[in-house]
Amino acid sequence: GESVGLHLPTLSVQEGDNSIINCAYSNSASDYFIWYKQESGKGPQFIIDIRSNMDKRQGQRVTVLLNKTVKHLSLQIAATQPGDSAVYFCAELLNAGNMLTFGGGTRLMVKP
């Protein structure tokens, strides 16, 4: 399959370790944020979302943290597995619009 994001920032972690992927968003008016995972040759897959009235949300093995003061999102993956290897994108949605705007993405590589 085709590689997505050949020149993206890369985070390399050992299997079993925790991963933290960071994202800076651009618009202070954004009120909804989503993390997507994209594997080679596939479309983005929804992981977790958070609204601006929250600062933390947990899912299965994933946690998203939102810091509105510095316009920063992070995705934490616990006990990273080889199947987590992919490109991760954060996306923001402006209340006044209906257009998800994506960040540049981070490639996560999990070493066995």
Partner 1 sequence: DTGVSQNPRHKITKRGQNVTFRCDPISEHNRLYWYRQTLGQGPEFLTYFQNEAQLEKSRLLSDRFSAERPKGSFSTLEIQRTEQGDSAMYLCASSFEYGEAFFGQGTRLTVV
Report the C-alpha gap between 25 and 11 in whole angstroms. Answer: 19
Report the C-alpha gap between 51 and 16 in whole angstroms. Answer: 29
Backbone angles phi, psi at 49, to 5 degrees: -130, 165
Comparison of 16 and 56: residue with beta carbon closer to partner 1: 56
| Least separation in angstroms between CB 70 and partner 1 | 21
Is residue 31 close enough to count as binding partner 1 by CB under 8 A?
Answer: no
> Which region, judged by CB under 8 A, interacts with partner 1, from 14-22, 33-41, 59-67, 71-79?
33-41
Is residue 12 close enough to count as binding partner 1 by CB under 8 A?
Answer: no
Sign of CA dihedral 18, 71, 36, 1: negative
> Given the rule CB under 8 A, which residues bind partner 1?
2-8, 34, 36, 41-46, 49, 89, 91, 97-105
